[in-house]
Structure 1
């Protein structure tokens, strides 16, 4: 989803017991803010690629609301459009039809730079392929969101976040000198360094073995719970999805709740149909 060209747009913790690792973090809800204002709201969201007879509609009239402090998993088969949906919700891609608001502001009214400004300092990302800049050290990668959000660049703050993810001895290492699990922990520190309101995670354990993936997942959910951050997680792993407050399944371009029912669609008048 992200390339070096998008750089200007965005950019082990103690393990938990088996119940926390392999089941939903039930205590997380009580630790989250009670504000029910939607952080993300989509109405009749549609994405079509191509044109004419070759046009393919990937997402079909989706409605979704995600509230402050929630953790929401989006699951589905390979090719279902999960990463496409995540890119749309984050404003990294543009929708074909519908309405989409992030922090109460319509993304369709903003150009690419405007969407980047809206995300800056408020949105963090964790990607399957880590997306660390190869010429920057771990510390410099973590500092990058602070620089892009025009906040005060604090190297000590970056060091503290690297220490929180267990990499205090790796601050000056380049990504190629780190294991996959270590690179993903740097990426998690980078995502949280600005204390964002919202974190998007796209298959955050997809390139890791099970044991390393479990440790990375523990870390992600621990930091998310401690920060009260809203988390939107795309995954093919049902165990990881089960740790979220809600699970939405993307199938044939439509969202379904975990119990199999379709997420209601709303017409222009706000009436369910």
Structure 2
């Protein structure tokens, strides 16, 4: 693996057992993503996009093959060790926002910073709330925020710990077109400013075209 590769997958496959037998979700994926690169993973619904993202981020373990993240073979780590390895280095932006409903906007950003052991957690949370234009909504809980505001909090949370890589899974999927466009502009602007690696799952060809590179999944395999 080249030293500039942040994520590498070799012969990556995912198979699940159902009542009707086995189902191959991903088959023999080969992939390398360099530091600072922006990559779109595209494909129809059910093609395996979100499954691939979860495997690359170490949120799940593959049935076969291997994933390296920051040079560490994820197959060798249990769930707790993978979580520790991600802390402070990996950010996530999900379609469903994944904010903790009992916490304020500020606390949703603050919590992962504290878990990562940041001494400047309070300052970072305040800085990033302001960076995404939500300083005045710091004390508001997710149900008091619009969908676009919730996603802005999620973006701030993803970047606040100086993440080296951000994984985004359909980040505009629950937003209207106008709000989604603003969110994507913010995501790419912040990513460019931080020179962070971005791996983005989307079914939107226009959104994928904003990435430096894209790959298309068809029935769990890389097309072309």
Deviations 1:19-69 (A, max 9, x none): xxxxxxxxxxxxxxxx96110000100000017970111101010000000
Tell me if structure 1 keeps the 8 A contact 2:46–2:219: no
Aligned partner (choices 123, 132, 157) of residue 190 of structure 1? 157
| Alpha-carbon offset, residue 148 of structure 1 | 1.6
Aligned partner (choices 239, 249, 261) of residue 216 of structure 2? 249
Aligned equivalents of 1:106, 1:53: Cα separation in 2: 33
Tell me if structure 2 keeps the 8 A contact 1:75–1:247: yes
TM-score using structure 2 length: 0.96
Instruction: Return 5+ residue gaps in structure 1 as ranges.
Output: 1-34, 262-273
Which structure has the larger Rg over C-alpha atoms? 1
Tell me if structure 2 keeps the 8 A contact 1:45–1:62: yes
Deviation above 4 Å: which 4+ runs of structure 1? Answer: none
Deviations 1:87-117 (A, max 9, x none): 0000000001111100001000111111111
Q: Please report the RMSD computed on the Cα atoms of aligned residues, expressed in angstroms.
A: 1.4
Question: Where do 1:8-87 residues align within 5 Å?
Answer: 37-50=4-17, 54-87=21-54
Q: Secondary structure at the match of 1:69?
A: coil
| Aligned residue in 2 for 1:239 | 206
Tell me if structure 1 keeps the 8 A contact 2:114–2:121: no
Aligned partner (choices 163, 168, 186) of residue 219 of structure 1? 186
| Aligned residue in 2 for 1:93 | 60
Instruction: Return 5+ residue gaps in structure 2 as ranges.
Output: none
| Alpha-carbon offset, residue 149 of structure 1 | 1.1
CA gap of 1:46–1:52, structure 2 versus 1, over 3 A, is: farther
| Aligned residue in 1 for 2:139 | 172
| Aligned residue in 2 for 1:155 | 122
| Alpha-carbon offset, residue 154 of structure 1 | 2.6
Aligned equivalents of 2:12, 2:176: Cα separation in 1: 34
Aligned length, in residue pairs: 223
